[in-house]
A and B are shown apart, each in its own frame.
Chain A
Amino acid sequence: MAGKTLYDKLWDEHVVRQEEDGTTLIYIDRHLLHEVTSPQAFEGLRLAGRKPWRVDANLATPDHNVPTTELKGGPETIEDPISRIQVLTLDKNAQEFGILEFKMGDPRQGIVHVVGPEEGATLPGMTVVCGDSHTSTHGALGCLAHGIGTSEVEHVLATQCLIQKKMKNMLIKVDGQLQPGVGPKDVILYIIRNIGTAGGTGYAIEFGGQVFRDMSIEGRMTVCNMAIEAGARAGMVAVDEKTIEYVKGRPFAPTGELWEKAVAHWQTLHSDPDAEFDVVIEFDGSQIEPQVSWGTSPEMVIDISGGIPDPDQESDPVKASSMRRALEYMGLKAGMKATEMPVDYVFIGSCTNSRIEDLRAAAEVVKGRKVSDRVEQALVVPGSGLVKRQAEAEGLDEVFKAAGFEWRNPGCSMCLAMNADRLPPQKHCASTSNRNFEGRQGAGGRTHLVSPQMAAAAAIAGHFVDVREYL
C-alpha cells in the first residue's frame, strides 16, 4: 500500500464517521470567527434554539470593518453605521455565547488569519475553519485549514463538525534557490499565473520542495494564503523544525509534558516518501522573478521585466475576452512594459502580507528613501496589534513615516475596503493583498498584486520597478 500524503493523514485523523458514498463528518479543532460572515450563523442558532457544541474551540476577532485610523474608542465610535452594527453584533454574540473575542482596541486584535497562528490558537495537525476563504493561510503550520460559508459556520458552531468529501491530492514542488529580492509572494503569484485560478480546484495543495523548506513560517503563510486564488480550498506545508520553533511559547500552545507529546506527533505530519499524489507540478525556483499582476484576476501576472500580453495572441476566445475586459478596466494597453504601469496608491497589509517579516522586508527597501510625489497615499497596515507593537519596537514605524507612509492600526483595511480605507476609481494601487478583482479595493479601483518589497519599491519610484535595483 502506498504511503499517505500530509493531507491524507490530517483527514484520517479527523474522520468522525463516513458514509458509503464518501460523505464524511470531520471534526473541527479550531473555529475562527469574524464579524462579516458570522451574524447570520448566530442568528440561525438562536432561531433553532441551539447552543454551540464546544464554546472553547472558538476564537473571534473583528477585522474587516475596523477603522485603521486612531481609535476614538470602542466599536460604538465607528462612523459608518453598518460597519458599527457588524462589529457590535460580533461583540454581542461572543458575549452571549461565551466565546473568546479579541475586541477592537485589544492588542491581540487583528486580521483573523494573522491572529490565529500568532496566538498559537492554530497548531500543527489541527483542522481549522473560518467563514473566510483565506483560512488556507493556517495550512502553513501543517494544518488542514479552509474557508467555509455562513451555513457551515452555523454547522460548526452547532456540531463542531463539517460534512465534507475528501479532496484530491496535489503536490506543488518548487526546488532550487530563490534569487535575492524574490519572496514568498512572488512564488505564489508565479504558481497561480502558471496553473491558473482554477488549477487547484478540487485539490488540497501541499507545497513542497527546497524553496518551501527554506522559507520561514510567515513566508509559508503568504503562500498558503493564496492557495484559494489557485482554486484550492486548502494549502499546506509539512511540519519541520521551523514549524515547531514557531509554535513554541505561544499563548495557546501546549507546555511541559504535553508539549513533548505534541511535538512527537507533529513530527509525523509530512507526506510519506512513497505517498502518491493525484497531480504533481514542479517549478524551478531559481527562475522566478519579482511578479506583478496587470489585470483583474490573480492569474493575470507578469514578470517585472516583462510586458502586458496581447489578447490577440491568445488562442482561447474566452480568455482573450477576459483579457480585453481587464485591459479596459485597468486602463492599460497590451505590450506595455510592467515598469511603465503607474502607481497612485500603495497598500502594504492584508492577511497575505502584514506580518512582521513583511514589514521588515518593506522597511528595508524604504529606509532612507521618500515616497514619490506621484503617489497620493501610501498605507502600512500591520496585521495585528502585536505585529504593530513589534514593528514599533524595531523602529519600523519611524522608517515608514519618515518616507511618507501612513502607519495605521490593524485590520483588513484597503484589502477589500469595507472600512473607510478605499481606493478611488481608476487609481492604480500597488497592493500586497491577494485579490485584484474589479472593485475589490474600492469601486473602479485598479489593483496590482505584488510582494511587500515590490510595493515599497513602487512607492518610491511612482511606478512598478524591479525591487532588485533597490537592494
Chain B
Amino acid sequence: MEKFARLTALVAPLDRANVDTDAIIPKQFLKSIQRTGFGPYLFDEWRYLDVGQPGQDCSNRPVNPEFVLNQPRYQGARILLARENFGCGSSREHAPWALKDYGFDVIIAPSFAEIFFNNCFKNGILPVVLPDETVDQLFREVAEQEGYMLTVDLAAQTLTKPNGEVIAFEVDPFRRHCLLEGLDDIGLTLQHADEIRAYEARRKQEAPWLFVHLKEVAEKYNQV
C-alpha cells in the first residue's frame, strides 16, 4: 500500500445521511473479480440517468447534472464531505475501492458505519470523524466558497481550512501508523506467527472440537 502523504485538495459535499454501500457502488458492479476500475461507477445510480453495467464505457452515458459530483466546481475533489452513518449496509469492499479509484483519499463525516470505516484504512483512505457542528460548518463553507480546499495532515492529525483555521481530529494510533507507513496488515500479523501457533496448540487441548478438518469430515459423511 502507498504511504499516506499530507495533501491539500478540493472538497466535494455529499449532503445525505445514511449513504449506504449499495449507493456508493451498486451491486451489478460486484460481479467483477478485480479490485480496480470501479471509479467510473462510483454512485452510479445518482451520477447517471441510465443504469450502468459492469465493463461499460461511461464516457457516453447521460449524466445527472443535479448530482453534486457532476458539477464542474467539484471536479478533481479528493476529499468527500459526508453526513452521518456514511457507508452503512453491505460490507462490500468495492465501496472504498470505488471511492479510491475515483480519487477520494479522505472522507469526513460525523459518523461512519463500522465495516466501511475499517475497510477505508485497509485501502489507503482516511475516514475523519468530526462533531456534527463542525461538519455543518464545513458544509456551509464549502457551499459558499468555490474551490474550497482543505489540507489534511495525518501525522499532525489536523485539517487546515483555507483561512488557516485548524481542526484537530482523532485517529487510532495503530491505524495512523499503518496508513503513514503504507503497511500491509498481513505482513504485520505474520510477524507474530509463533504466537498464533502457540495459541492454536493450547486451544487444541482446551477445545479440540474447534479443529475438525471440514473437508475430511465431509468426505467421510459422503460415504455413509
Contacts and interface: CB of A to CB of B under 8 A. Distances in A.
B186 A155 contact: yes
A36 B84 CA distance: 27
Interface string A93-113: 000001110000000000000
Nearest to B88: A197
A383 interface: no
A56 B214 CA distance: 5
Contact of B85 (A99, A155, A198): A198
Contacts of A43: 33-35
B48 to A, nearest CB: 11
Contacts of B83: 318
A423 to B, nearest CB: 12
Interface in A209-227: none
B207 A252 contact: no
A171 B12 CA distance: 39
Contacts of A16: 192, 195-196, 199
Given A16-B199, A56-B215, A123 B209 contact: yes
Nearest to B122: A151
A40 B34 contact: yes
Interface residues of B, number: 64
B64 interface: no
B17 A39 contact: no
Interface residues of A, number: 82
Nearest to B175: A23
Interface in B170-218: 172-174, 185-186, 188-190, 192-193, 195-196, 199-200, 203, 207-218
B209 A262 contact: yes
A125 B16 CA distance: 39
Interface in A53-99: 53-59, 64-65, 82-83, 85-86, 89, 98-99
A416 interface: yes
A48 B17 contact: no
B119 A149 contact: yes
A181 interface: no
Interface stretch (A158-166, A386-394, A460-468): A158-166
Interface in B145-190: 172-174, 185-186, 188-190
Contact of A416 (B27, B33, B123, B189): B27
Interface in B41-58: 45, 51, 54
Given A123-B210, A417-B27, A201 B54 contact: no
B30 interface: yes
Interface in A407-466: 416-418, 435, 437-440, 443
A258 interface: yes
B26 interface: yes
Contacts of A11: none
Given A50-B186, A252-B217, A438-B45, A152 B22 contact: no
A259 B90 CA distance: 36
A150 B93 contact: yes
Contacts of B89: 133, 435, 437
B186 A159 contact: yes
Given A133-B91, A198-B85, A322-B18, A17 B195 contact: yes
B196 A160 contact: yes
A421 B109 CA distance: 35
A132 B91 contact: yes
Nearest to A59: B214
Contact of A161 (B34, B196, B215): B196
Given A25-B192, A37-B92, A197-B88, A254 B33 contact: no
Nearest to B174: A23
A154 interface: yes
Interface stretch (B3-11, B69-77, B100-108, B110-118): B110-118
Contact of B91 (A64, A83, A149, A160): A149
Contacts of A265: 207
Contacts of B209: 123, 253-254, 258-259, 261-262
A27 B196 contact: yes
B189 A25 contact: yes
B122 to A, nearest CB: 4
Contacts of A262: 207, 209
A233 B207 contact: no
B123 to A, nearest CB: 7
25 contacts: A25-B192, A37-B92, A40-B34, A40-B93, A43-B35, A56-B216, A58-B214, A64-B30, A100-B218, A133-B91, A133-B115, A147-B91, A147-B115, A151-B119, A151-B122, A151-B123, A151-B185, A159-B186, A163-B189, A198-B113, A202-B114, A252-B218, A319-B17, A416-B27, A418-B30
Given A40-B93, A99-B215, A154-B186, 20 more contacts: A19-B174, A25-B192, A43-B34, A43-B35, A56-B212, A56-B216, A82-B31, A123-B209, A132-B91, A149-B115, A155-B186, A231-B85, A231-B88, A251-B218, A258-B209, A259-B209, A319-B17, A416-B27, A435-B89, A443-B45
List the 8 closest A-B pairs by CB distance, nearest first: A39-B33, A254-B209, A82-B31, A151-B122, A56-B213, A150-B93, A149-B93, A149-B119
